[in-house]
């Protein structure tokens, strides 16, 4: 059995103040419901063999729950990100210590580079990096410098329609990249791209063993995935979707 660990951070009391860029701000975010949804998300990971490591809260950071943006892991290296949104940089607190405790070598993205973990999609040795939002060319170059010696192929992907690359696309276990075509700048970036019928269907977390975690907001896409032979675990993400969040954003997944 692989060693599966996930770093998570509970929502801030200021969650409703989180940044939105490509959607209208919702006036109806329910913090209590968001906390229940976060707990259900964590329990879904735990139920599928993931060991949960909860990082210290950053209650003064509205977007702190979106922990994936704070770091990128590959092989034995963890890159501490430097967000393109300056107000999010305080969210790194506690992340270095947590990753060091898991045995990772730490590399930091330095000025003028910016990089958000949500802009990084990895599969089978290729690392695609979204450019044009929170991540810049200098951040991409620093990531490539850290990961290419480990055998990674790093590819920049222009991004203009969504917050992060993984707001537009993620990958299924067989490497097929899935996305909601109207929000994908260039589907031809990937040899195997498949459009899905709902925007939230673009977002999956690979739980292992042919099982994917996704939002209940994409029932038609869930049927498509089930027809492919995948086992679908669906969790309610409604409150986080009001802040452009999704199932990938709420954890840093560590596999060894």
Q: Is residue 47 exposed (0-12), middle (13-18) or buried (19+ Cβ within 10 Å)?
A: exposed
Residues marked as catalytic: 164, 249
Question: Bridge-partner residues for 235, per DSSP?
Answer: 215
Greatest Cα pair distance in the chain: 47
Q: SS3 for 83?
A: coil
DSSP per-residue codes, 50-118: PEEEEPPP-TT-TTTT-GGGGEEEETTEEEEPB-SSGGGGGGGTTHHHHHHHTTPEEEE--TT--B-GG
């Amino acid at each position: 059995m692989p060693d599966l660990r996930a770093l998570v951070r509970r929502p801030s009391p200021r969650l409703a103040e989180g940044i939105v860029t490509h959607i209208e701000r919702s006036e109806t975010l329910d913090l209590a419901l968001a906390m229940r949804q976060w707990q259900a998300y964590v329990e879904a990971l735990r139920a599928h063999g993931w060991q949960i490591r909860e990082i210290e809260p950053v209650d003064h950071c509205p977007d702190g729950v979106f922990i994936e943006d704070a770091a990128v892991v590959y092989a034995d290296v963890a890159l501490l990100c430097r967000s393109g949104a300056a107000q999010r940089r305080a969210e790194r607190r506690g992340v270095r210590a947590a990753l060091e405790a898991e045995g990772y070598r730490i590399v930091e993205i330095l000025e003028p580079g910016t990089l958000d973990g949500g802009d990084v999609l990895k599969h089978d040795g290729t690392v695609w990096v979204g450019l044009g939002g929170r991540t810049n060319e200098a951040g991409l170059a620093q990531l490539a410098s850290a990961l290419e010696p480990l055998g990674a192929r790093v590819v920049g992907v222009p991004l203009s329609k969504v917050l992060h690359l993984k707001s537009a696309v993620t990958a299924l276990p067989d490497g097929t990249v899935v996305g909601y075509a109207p929000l994908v700048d260039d589907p031809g970036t990937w040899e195997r791209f498949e459009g899905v019928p709902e925007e939230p269907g673009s977002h999956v977390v690979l739980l292992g063993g042919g099982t994917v975690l996704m939002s209940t907001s994409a029932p038609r896409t869930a049927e498509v995935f089930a027809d492919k032979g995948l086992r679908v675990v669906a969790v309610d993400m409604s409150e986080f979707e009001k802040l452009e969040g999704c199932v990938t954003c709420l954890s840093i997944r560590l596999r060894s």
